[in-house]
Amino acid sequence: MENINWLQEVESRKEDLFKDLFRLLKIDSVRDDAAATEETPVGPGPKAALDEFLKMAQEDGFQTQAFGPWAGRVEIGAGDELMGILGHVDVVPAGSGWDTDPFEPQIINDRIYARGSSDDKGPTVGAYFALKLLRELGHTFNKRVHLIVGTDEESGWQCMDYYFKHAEMPDFGFSPDAEFPIINGEKGNVSAAIDTKDSQVLEGDLKLIEFKSGLRPNMVPESASAVLEVLKGDIDFQADFDQFLAENDLKGDLSVDGKQVSITVVGKSAHGSTPHKGVNGATQLGRFLSQYRFDDQAAENFVQVLSHELFEGFDGSKVGVSHHHDVMGDVSMNIGIANYDAEKGGHIDVNFRYPEGTEPDTMLGQMEKALGHYASLQVSMGHHKDPHYVPADDPLVETLLDVYHKQTGFEAHEQSIGGGTYGRLMPRGVAYGALFPDSIDVMHQANEFLAVEDLLRATAIYAEAIYRLTK
């Protein structure tokens, strides 16, 4: 099998690959806590996608095993060592701005459009298809291989918490949920909550009735909306808003109904680990509102912190947490959720991806100092994931980089990201594909797609990599 043309083998079976993938893409597997039950703890969609994946593998003759309603695995091979391949079938909310139905996959101009095509159903199915191909070609696996599929990667990773309480940890492996040539370093991940609850009365012209923006901490919110009540003064909101949109190349809507003003700003969504690639609707709307004065200290502080310390401070420097690591890079900061209610106050979720050399307790102290002039703000840190790194001279990393270089001719080098993948769960775990350096990254965005060429190339790379690691 040393001289196999892996890409040719995959291309000759591409219709079967598309068929497998489309089965999963048709399932709306967004987490839905409102519809959660004991049998579907993160909603019916993720569980339905998991069931379909295992059913597909069973139909193909693989041995499978379910782990409660949370996770499942496909098994092949024999031996003392265990290789893990970890993917997920849950997806982030579709959001707005799609040109097609996000759960009716279509191939348009050699791109597969659907929510989950790139993150992570496409890459996971590519890795699964690589196992099918190797089995068909007669490969004898000298290690056990577990393709493990979760249902809660985009939220709290409860699926993997459950799985690894009941199953063996792989000795090594990869997650097909990032980019090539490899991700052998992943930053830590923690969200800070900024809450405003002081209802001290101020001499303002407006009352902030509500402010809404964001779906998940790990997404740049595409849009934000606010409802205001005019208390006094004569403000030409439409003129102010038109000027703001023109100066900042934004879109939005504004309507006035008596004393009530409704405003929406539309930006651009992006993955929360790369906030600079998006246009954050929440902080942009905060900037617009910051020119006015509100009648409540909580509202005033909510708007001001959004528009100043949290606006485009992507490296965390405006809130005092910036830090650089020579291998893993810089801290990144995303404002994922920003909500305000006149009765309950405000809540802002600030998601950080941080390299080695800092940690959440330190960052909390730095934020409290940087935001100390806001008397009504309270800052707290949530659960965190530590940074993860597998050295470049590890045989796993060397093999995966060699396969990538051999098949693409591109430079193979180590790299770190802010995004978190299941690869970090394994002591010798990395992320491997499926995006290439020349791919267009639309994860977590409207009109998400995976290029057909990228899917075929990644599947071929996975096949040779698994072959090399288990021969």
| Measured distance CA(114)–CA(122) in Å, rounded | 10
- In this structure, are residues 208 and 340 in contact, taking their beta carbons and an 8 Å threshold? yes
Report which of 192, 159, 197, 150 is spatially closest to residue 349, judged by C-alpha positions.
Answer: 192
Other C-beta atoms within 10 Å of 411: how many?
10
Residues contacting residue 243 through CB under 8 Å, at least 6 positions apart:
none
The residue from 119, 152, 153, 177 that is catalytic is 153
| Measured distance CA(269)–CA(287) in Å, rounded | 18
- In this structure, are residues 129 and 114 in contact, taking their beta carbons and an 8 Å threshold? no
Q: Residue type for 442, please?
A: V
Residue 325, token pair as written in the block: 């690591």
DSSP conformation class of 401: H
153 assigned to active site: yes
Residues contacting residue 70 through CB under 8 Å, at least 6 positions apart:
41, 150, 151, 152, 158, 159, 162, 163
Cα distance between the two ends of the chain:
10
DSSP conformation class of 259: T
Max intra-chain CA distance, the chain: 79
Residue 376, token pair as written in the block: 């009504």
The residue from 28, 90, 295, 300 that is catalytic is 90
Residue 132, token pair as written in the block: 């099918």
- In this structure, are residues 272 and 336 in contact, taking their beta carbons and an 8 Å threshold? yes
Cα-Cα-Cα-Cα dihedral sign, residues 245, 246, 250, 253 = positive
Other C-beta atoms within 10 Å of 87: how many?
25
- Tell whether omega for the bond before 434 is within 30 degrees of 0, i.e. cis: yes
- Which residues are part of the catalytic machinery? 90, 153
